[in-house]
């Protein structure tokens, strides 16, 4: 006899309360970052020796602005998921873990948010 | 809670060998390096945000940003960021291949591990040398 409710059984999540979503999102963002990070590194290499206004003009191009925004967002999501695994694996004290997991979220939002606001200011002129 | 009056004597029991005495297999080294470079890139994203803020704010913030990167410490940080990104990129592809079921046999995983390690150093050093060369060409000292 099982004490599981039918809903609990059909959700198939067990005691972890979550399924493969984290794993899958980490892989999807990783795959997206293959072209995006290549674009980012080649862009930065292109900036070497360039003036401030030339680099600003590069990001003001619509395609480059879109790619940079996408790079920042996808990187921050991937970063948040990856650092979460590191915290889950190495921080065993539940209180410390929860605080660090929240700080991890805050860090990703802060870095991503600041980058996007700066990019919007740059594009808006 | 009261102390146990019959404190058991502490004897020097033999311990099982710990992590530190084992020879690191290639896959273990590449795995821990993947995590460390991931953390390094996260720190590097602060530089990216700083750069964008500096660029959006004008010369009064852009000058200190480039000055911070141009000094020896900044260059070491920059190379560390570049190598971390290159390594995490290449090893990430290795991880994605594993997830698809390819290259998981131990000899293959060892070979691709050494390959990724060597290639990441080669590519990042090459890119850094290229940047250095471009800079020496464009800025008359």
Inter-chain touch B38–A83, beta carbons under 8 Å:
yes
Does any domain span residue B5?
A: no
Is B18 contained in some domain?
no
Residue A5 lies in a domain: no
Does the pLDDT value for residue B141 go beyond 50? no
B74 touching A (Cβ < 8 Å): no
Give the mean model confidence (pLDDT) for residues A76-96: 96
* Nearest-angstrom CA–CA distance, B134 and A52: 16
Q: How many domains does chain A have?
A: 1
**pLDDT, chain A, mean:** 93
Range of the domain at B54: 25-138
Q: State yes or no: pLDDT of B19 exceeds 80.
A: no
Residue B12 domain flag:
no
pLDDT for the residue A4: 83
**How much is the pLDDT for A56?**
96
Residue B99 lies in a domain: yes
CATH of the domain at B118: 1.20.1300.10
Quick: pLDDT tens for B55-71: 999 999 999 999 999 99
Residues of B in contact with A107 (CB under 8 A): 42
Tokens (6 digits) for B77:
């940080």
The CATH number linked to A80 is 1.20.1300.10
Residue A8 lies in a domain: no
3-state secondary structure B89-133: HHHHHHHHHHHCCCCCCHHHHHHHHHHHHHHHHHHHHHHHHHHHH
Judge whether A9 lies within some domain.
no
Tell whether B10 is covered by a domain.
no
Residue A17 pLDDT > 80, yes or no?
A: no
Report the domain count for chain B. Answer: 1
Q: Is B114 part of any domain?
A: yes
For residue A87 the two structure tokens come to: 């915290």
Helix B72-99 / helix B26-57 crossing angle, nearest 10 deg:
130
Instruction: Give the tens place of pLDDT for each residue, B88-101.
Output: 999 999 999 999 99
Report ipTM for this prediction: 0.88
For residue B2, what pLDDT band results from cuts at 50, 70 and 90? low
* Residue at B20 is within a domain: no
Q: Under 8 Å CB-to-CB from B24, ≥6 apart: which residues? A: none
Instruction: Say whether B39 and A86 touch across the interface (CB within 8 A).
Output: yes
Domain that includes residue A79, residue range: 20-124
Q: Could you give the C-alpha distances from B101 to A23, A78, B31, B34, B82, in angstroms and in order?
A: 16, 22, 17, 19, 29
**Statement: residue B140 has pLDDT above 60:** no
Would residue B33 count as lying in a domain?
yes
């Amino acid at each position: 006899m099982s004490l599981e409710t039918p809903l609990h059984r059909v959700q198939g999540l067990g005691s972890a309360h979550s399924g493969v979503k984290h794993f899958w999102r980490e892989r999807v963002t990783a795959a997206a970052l293959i072209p995006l990070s290549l674009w980012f590194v080649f862009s930065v290499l292109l900036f070497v020796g360039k003036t401030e206004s030339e680099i600003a003009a590069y990001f003001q191009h619509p395609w480059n602005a879109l790619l940079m925004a996408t790079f920042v967002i996808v990187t921050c999501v991937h970063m948040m998921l990856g650092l979460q695994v590191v915290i889950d694996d190495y921080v065993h004290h539940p209180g410390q873990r929860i605080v660090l997991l929240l700080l991890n979220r805050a860090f990703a939002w802060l870095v991503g948010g600041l980058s996007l606001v700066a990019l919007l200011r740059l594009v808006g002129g | 809670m009261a102390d146990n009056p019959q404190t058991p004597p502490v004897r020097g029991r033999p311990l099982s060998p710990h992590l530190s005495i084992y020879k690191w297999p290639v896959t273990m080294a590449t795995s821990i390096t993947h995590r460390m470079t991931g953390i390094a890139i996260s720190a590097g994203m602060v530089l990216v945000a700083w750069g964008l803020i500096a660029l959006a704010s004008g010369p009064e913030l852009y000058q200190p940003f480039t000055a911070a990167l141009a000094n020896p410490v900044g260059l070491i940080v920059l190379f560390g960021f570049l190598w971390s990104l290159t390594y995490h990129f290449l090893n990430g592809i290795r991880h994605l291949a594993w997830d698809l079921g390819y290259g998981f046999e131990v000899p293959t995983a060892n070979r691709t591990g050494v390959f990724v390690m060597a290639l990441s150093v080669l590519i990042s050093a090459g890119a850094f040398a290229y940047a250095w060369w471009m800079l020496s060409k464009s800025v008359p000292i």
